[in-house]
Amino acid sequence: MSARPEVVPPQPWAFPEPERHTLSNGIELLAYDIPGQYVISVRTVLPMSLSVEPREKEGVAALTARLLDEGTARHTSEEFAQLLERKGIALGAGINDSGLGVDLDVPKRRLGEALDLLQQALGEPVFPEAEVTRHVKTRLAEIEQERAMAPHRAAREFIATFFDGAERASRPSAGTHETVSSLTREDFVEFHRRFVGPQGMTVVVAGDLSGVDVRAVADEVLGQWRAEGQEVVTPNAEPPVRAADAARIVLVDRPGSVQSELSVGCAGPDRRAEGGWAAYPVLSFVVGGSPNARVDAVLREEKGFTYGIRSTFRPRRRGGLFLTNGSVRADSTVESVKLLLEILESGREGFSADEVRAGIDYISKTAPGRYATADAVADEAATMALDGMSTDFTTETLLAMQSLDGDALAEAYRRWVDGTWTVVVVGDASLYADQLEELGRGAVTVVPN
């Protein structure tokens, strides 16, 4: 019988290193060679603050992104869609508070053709009137759908309550009914002309790149793109301001609701947090990031009030939020809010050695699996680029986690969680408004659905 092999602890893991190139027009190219990943993932990101949108035209950035593949100077919308389908290319675009992103996944042998179509979408969109009308109508329908869905309604009310009304962050990133209704084709043409171009852009290419001169292929297509008159947007240097009256309870009235949707939060850090970012993914996991976390241990397992509630530290480019979201049985609404706030505040008193080790092990030891595919590598690199960082940060964060202990976690938690909560409840106001007021967690405001 052969001897049993010695089991050794897993070695420290590092994020893959890219080859870095600057294309002829200034685009930064990051190429990650991942053997065996024959579907290549391309992520194109351009930092951009949504505050550049005119107040009365909010939503123009998000819909501009959606319209990029709806016809170019060389292809109609139908032709462009057919080309994507025939060549096995998946392309999508969107925008958030950090900037514009265009995602593309393609078989390795079609990479050059895919980058050509990507350049057309970014640099040559024509915004056909019929497609503009369709996307505006679709967004208006989405707004109504979001109002009807409790999680979306809670999220919208949360940002409106938490952030000062003058801040762009207090309003939906894709615009409201009033602002989207006013958008015209000329608005999209002008927004694209002013803000979409190669300056400040990063392109990430991840996958099996053996035998591919990525720099040459990218420079031949993307590197020749020019955008005269592009305005380079300086990212916000300060986090959005919190509303002076944010520490209160807002009850969105839904008569007869059999569940109540909860959205509870306070200010949180960004990735440049004092003391480092490493503690916050671990804290998210320990407090409310798994079925065994503190929140579910009480509200789900002990009380049976919910199928699951999750907490997370959510960074923005500047500043961030600590958010807890989920639904509970309607008849448990008041007790759930009371218990949830107590559980969240219990972290200020510290964390056990078992909690600390479970959180660190989960986040750090699953990293090789989380980043094993081309799309996951490309997504992480693109996220870091939008934040003005590199994936060296990812490696450094994972290494820093190993030195965390209960005291460090408690200190990081206390730095942000001070008991000044913004609480949004989507439920039956007639049943719970008075009882929520009695919790003494701030004034209760009732708003219509």
Q: Parallel, antiparallel, or unpaired for β 39-47 and 99-107?
A: antiparallel
First vs last Cα of the chain: how many Å apart?
71
**In the prediction, which pLDDT does 1 show?**
63
SS (H, E, C) the chain: CCCCCCCCCCCCCCCCCCEEEECCCCCEEEEEECCCCCEEEEEEEEECCHHHCCHHHCCHHHHHHHHCCCCECCCCHHHHHHHHHHCCCEEEEEECCCEEEEEEEEEHHHHHHHHHHHHHHHHCECCCHHHHHHHHHHHHHHHHHHHHCHHHHHHHHHHHHHECCCCHHHCCCCCCHHHHHCCCHHHHHHHHHHHCCCCCCEEEEEECCCCCCHHHHHHHHHHHCCCCCCCCCCCCCCCCCECCCCCCEEEEECCCCCEEEEEEEEEECCCCCCCCCCHHHHHHHHHHCCCCCHHHHHHHHHCCCCCCEEEEEEECCCCEEEEEEEEEEHHHHHHHHHHHHHHHHHHHHCCCHHHHHHHHHHHHHCHHHHCCCHHHHHHHHHHHHHCCCCCHHHHHHHHHHCCCCHHHHHHHHHHHCCCCCEEEEEECHHHHHHHHHCCCCCCEEEEEC
Q: Which residues have C-beta within 8 Å of that of residue 72, sequence separation ≥ 6? A: 80, 120, 121, 124, 125, 126
Task: Measure the CA–CA gap between 269 and 229, rounded to whole angstroms.
Answer: 35
Token pair for 229: 């008159």
183 burial class (0-12, 13-18, 19+ CB within 10 angstroms)?
Answer: buried
Q: Between vectors from CA 225 to CA 119 and to CA 185, what angle results, nearest 5°?
A: 65
CA angle 209, 95, 44 (to 5 degrees): 20
Report d(CA 251, CA 215) in Å as an integer: 54
- Which domains does the chain carry? 19-224 (3.30.830.10), 249-448 (3.30.830.10)
φ/ψ (deg, to 5) at 28: -85, 125
442: left (phi over 0), alpha (psi -120 to 50) or beta: left
What's the length of the chain?
Answer: 449
Q: Which sign, positive or negative, has the C-alpha torsion 322, 325, 328, 330? A: positive
**In DSSP terms, which residues pair with 426 in a beta bridge?**
252, 261
Angle at 334 between CA 333 and CA 335, to 5 degrees: 95
Instruction: List average pLDDT for each run of 10 residues in the chain, which is 449 residues long.
Output: 79 91 97 97 96 96 98 97 97 94 97 98 98 98 97 98 97 97 98 97 98 97 94 86 97 97 98 95 96 95 96 96 98 98 97 96 94 97 96 96 95 96 97 94 94
SS3 string, 61-79, reads HHHHHHHCCCCECCCCHHH
Q: Report the DSSP pairing between strands 249-253 and 309-315.
A: unpaired
Q: 0.75 exceeded by the pTM?
A: yes
Can you tell me which residue has the tokens 């300086």?
234
Half-sphere exposure of 297 (CA within 13 A, CB side): 12
Q: Which two tokens stand for residue 78?
A: 């139908």
How far is C-alpha 186 from the chain's CA centre?
29
- What are the phi and psi torsion angles at 334 (to 5°)? -65, -45
